[in-house]
A and B are shown apart, each in its own frame.
Chain A
Amino acid sequence: MKIDPIHQFNIEPLFTIGHIGNHTIAFTNSSLYMLVAVVVISLLMLASGTQLVPGRLQSVAEISYEFVASTIRSTAGSEGMKFFPLIFSLFMFICVSNLVGIIPYTFTISSHLIVTAALALLVFFTVLIYGLYKNGLKFFKIFVPHGVPIYILPLVMFIEILSFFLRPVSHSVRLFANMLAGHIALKVFAGFVAMLGFSLGAVGWIGGVLPLALTVALTSLELLVAFLQAYVFAILTCIYLNDAIHPGH
């Protein structure tokens, strides 16, 4: 019995869709779980009732709606509601795919840096393009903080510009690393149970209670992390968009 905590991140092509240049474009297990996330979100938002007194499913849909809406209003103001569909899509996509990924034998989309980087770059370019479109050159005021003495302004501007362009990196790596590390830890501890049992027999199975308990505890922690990382991704998106809406703050 060998623990292989990396195997769960493998991309397995299910069937080939086509070719772009010399890249084969396949429908992979990752694509499948993206589809699952889209279907789950659509079912939640479209199959729930629109009654005056909401049922359980409708309550979940409405709580998600209110939650994202209040997050946007509190961080980016009411003008940020323009981006409500984008932030809602991001939050629900990440949250649902993270939660689905905790189920054993499933695949976690956001454990791949390319996916989180694509989402982070989407946010980055949305901020950049909307900021320039709405504010023109005033957008660059975000690099010049108020009240900074002139002699250290170049340094501050350099740091501001650097941090602005590093945003997509931290934005994507945070989500990716959290999901990756959490799933590896889960797999390692769960693997200990089987490994102890198969190598030490009865003593091992009894000794396996401890890693099993840890696995259960880690699973609940991962549930929290799954939601929290989606929330962090969404709220950072709001904060970045706030720069585009109100530069110079």
Chain B
Amino acid sequence: MAESHGGAKSPAAGAHTEADGGHHGSGFPPFESSTFASQLVSLAIFFVVLYVIVSKLALPRIGGAIEARQNKIEGDLAEAQKLKDMSDAALKAYESELASARARAQAIGNETRDKLNAQAEAERKALEDQLAAKLAEAEKTIASTRTAAMSNVRGIAADAAGTIVQQLTGVVPDAASINAAVDASLKG
């Protein structure tokens, strides 16, 4: 395809190059065999130079940069993972510490409450005992007072009976009969 194309164009190109330099034989430059040796030699030189530069300098350099980045990324990820693990561990420690502190606080609270309850109970009991004693004493006082009062009542009643009998009959009754009469009425 290229050959036929070149063939068709060759007269014009040939004329042009003839006028230009005059050292080109056939018309189509890619098929001018006189230039092949020069091109092959320069290609060989420059391609070998390029190969040496690429294999000895360029690829190790760029490959090294890429690898360094890869290592850095992996190292940083590992570091981040380590820090995350550490923070997770710290969080766990904090939570367990918090839980145990809460349990301790609960225990202390319960203990204190029990102690206070016991103390209050004891105080209440002491107070009740005290009150009961006082009550018993008061009842005893009342009983003795009432006994005294009742004996007084008997004396008053005997006096009153003696006085009444004296007023009504004009005779002073003897004490023994009055006492017997008062006892009888008090029993009745």
Bound: A181/B42 CA distance, A: 24
Interface residue? B62 (CB, 8 A): yes
B34 contacts across to A, CB distance below 8 A? 23
At the interface, yes or no: A92 with Cβ under 8 Å from chain B?
Answer: yes
**B96 shortest CB reach to chain A, Å:** 40
Chain B residue contacts of A181, Cβ below 8 A: 1-2, 5
Mask, A181-224, CB within 8 Å of B = 1, is 10010000000000000000000000000000000000000000
* Cβ B51 vs Cβ A89 within 8 A: yes
Indicate if the CB atoms of A46 and B2 lie closer than 8 Å: no
Interface string of A45-76 (1 = CB under 8 A from B): 11010111010001001100110000000000
Q: Mark A147-188, 1 if CB is under 8 A from B, else 0.
A: 000000000000000000000000001001100110010000
Indicate whether A111 reaches chain B with its CB closer than 8 angstroms: yes
Residues from chain B with a CB closer than 8 A to the CB of A48 are 62
- Contacting residues, chain A, for B167 (C-beta < 8 A): none
Residues of A close to B170: CB separation below 8 A: none
In the assembled complex, the CB of B137 is this many whole angstroms from the nearest CB of chain A, namely: 99
Q: Which of B65-73, B117-125, B149-157, B178-186 contacts A (4 or more CB under 8 A)?
A: B65-73
For the complex formed, measure the closest distance between the CB of A205 and the CB atoms of chain B, giving whole angstroms: 25
Identity of the chain A residue whose Cβ is nearest the Cβ of B64 in the assembled complex:
A50
**CB of B16 closer than 8 Å to a CB of A:** yes
Closest chain B residue, CB of each to CB of A97: B46
Inter-chain CA distance A26–B138, complex, in Å, is 146
Residue of B nearest to A42 (CB): B53
**Inside 8 A of B35's CB, which chain A residues have their CB?**
11, 28, 30, 112, 114
| A34–B58 CB distance below 8 A | no
> Which residues of A3-19 have CB atoms within 8 Å of chain B's CB atoms?
4-7, 9-13, 17
Binds B, one of A80-88, A98-106, A130-138, A230-238: A80-88
Chain B 10-30, CB-CB to A under 8 Å as 1, else 0, gives: 101100110011011001111
Q: Once bound together, how far apart are the Cα atoms of A113 and B68, in whole Å?
A: 41
Q: Any chain A CB within 8 A of the CB of B169?
A: no
Task: Report the minimum CB–CB distance from B73 to chain A (whole Å).
Answer: 9
A114 to chain B: which residues have CB within 8 Å? 30, 35-36, 39-40
Please tell me which one of the listed residues B10, B30, B66 contacts residue A112 in the complex, with CB atoms under 8 A apart.
B30
- Chain B CB within 8 A of A95 CB: no
Q: Is B127 at the interface (CB under 8 A from chain A)?
A: no
CB contact between A85 and one of B5, B28, B54 (< 8 Å): that residue: B54
Within 8 A of A (CB), among B38-84: 38-44, 46-47, 49-51, 53-55, 57-59, 61-66, 68-69, 72
Are A88 and B40 touching (Cβ within 8 A)?
no
For B51, give the chain A residue with the smallest CB separation: A89
Knowing A2-B12, A58-B65, A177-B1 touch, does A34 contact B30 (C-beta < 8 A)? no
Cα of A28 to Cα of B42 in the assembled complex, Å = 9
* Pairs across A and B, CB under 8 Å, 19 listed: A7-B20, A20-B37, A23-B34, A24-B37, A28-B35, A31-B38, A31-B42, A41-B58, A42-B58, A45-B57, A46-B57, A52-B69, A65-B59, A65-B66, A84-B59, A85-B59, A109-B43, A112-B29, A114-B35
